[in-house]
Amino acid sequence: MASLFRTFRIQKRDFTNAGNASICVKKLLKSLNTCGSIIRRASICGYEGEMNVVMHATTDGHLDLELSEHRIILTVSDKGPGIEDIETAMQKGFSTAPEEFREMGFGAGMGLSNILENTDILHIDSKPGTGTVIRMEFSTGV
Amino acid sequence: MKLSQIAYIVEAEFLACGHLDSGEITKAGASDLLSDVLAAKAENALLLTGIKTIQMVKTCTIAGIGAVILVRGKIPDIDTIELASQEELPLLSTKLSLFIASGRLYQQGIQGLKHAR
């Protein structure tokens, strides 16, 4: 049973507020005395997921945080265009980000591979035209 | 190395968190690509960059960057400076180029990420 659940809205194409949800997650985990390396990994993954929604989604999305005794689960969901081929999208350097985001220093095709590197369990559910759900699990168990 | 000493070496001025000079900086990275900053294991490192957007501050906060030096005389807008203060991210600016600023710090013993020389 989850001991804590929070949900944060992510607005598509809103670069000004992009990242705020992940910064809130980071602060929340810090206030709960979570291990530093887990805070870092979870907030990086949340941020990468959040930026994907801002860059690609066609509707607003959300970031959900679920915290229980032995694990942290972050889920980023959107009803965007979906991912055509997840295996290709996981490759470092593969990107479909628009040029305007690349000019800001994002969209280099590092997001999903970086998420994979920093999660203990990763599950991506995506269908073209339907949307994407990225579930990222971090073990905090002793 | 203390941030005040780093600031002296690269002729930088503090824009935010000038009072946070207690920590030691031993390693640094230089990048204009925020995706690379997130992918690098750069916790507590110094970042030298030409990116002065509010997303740069958020990326550094998330990645746990220790301090940022903006190169080529870049000065961000007030909202970006305020966010850096709020997040306790020391933010400095130098008129030197990325190459020269990085070179000076390397010469004085600052290491690359993973303590590479």
Rounded distance between C-alpha atoms, residue A104 and residue A101, angstroms: 5
Q: Quick count: other Cβ atoms within 10 Å of Cβ A112?
A: 22
Please report which confidence band the pLDDT of residue B18 belongs to, taking 50, 70 and 90 as the band edges: confident
Q: What percent of chain A has pLDDT over 90?
A: 68
Of residues A23, A48, A108, nearest to B33 (C-beta): A108
Q: With a threshold of 0.90, does the pTM exceed it?
A: yes
Q: Distance from B38 to chain A by nearest Cα, in Å?
A: 7
- What value does the CA radius of gyration of chain A take, rounded to a whole number of Å? 14
Residue A1 has pLDDT above 60, yes or no: no
- Strand partners of residue A8: A63
User: Would the CB atoms of A105 and B39 count as touching at under 8 Å?
Assistant: no
pLDDT score at A34: 93
- Contact criterion met (CB below 8 Å) for A136 and A122: yes
Look at A114 and B39 and tell me if their CB atoms are within 8 Å: yes
Question: How large is the ipTM?
Answer: 0.89
SS (H, E, C) B44-80: CCEEEECCCCHHHHHHHHHHCCCEEEECCCCCCCHHH
Confidence bin at A105 (pLDDT 50/70/90): confident
Cα distance between residue B49 and residue B51, in whole Å: 5
Q: What is the mean pLDDT of residues A93-120?
A: 88
In angstroms, the separation between the Cα of residue A139 and the nearest Cα of chain B is: 19
Higher pLDDT, B63 or B19: B63
Report which secondary-structure segment, H or E, holds A127.
Answer: strand A121-127
Each residue of A21-41: pLDDT tens digit? 999 999 999 999 999 999 999
Query: How many residues are listed for chain B in this entry?
Result: 117
Q: With an 8 Å Cβ cutoff, is B43 touching chain A?
A: yes
Amino acid A136: pLDDT:
98
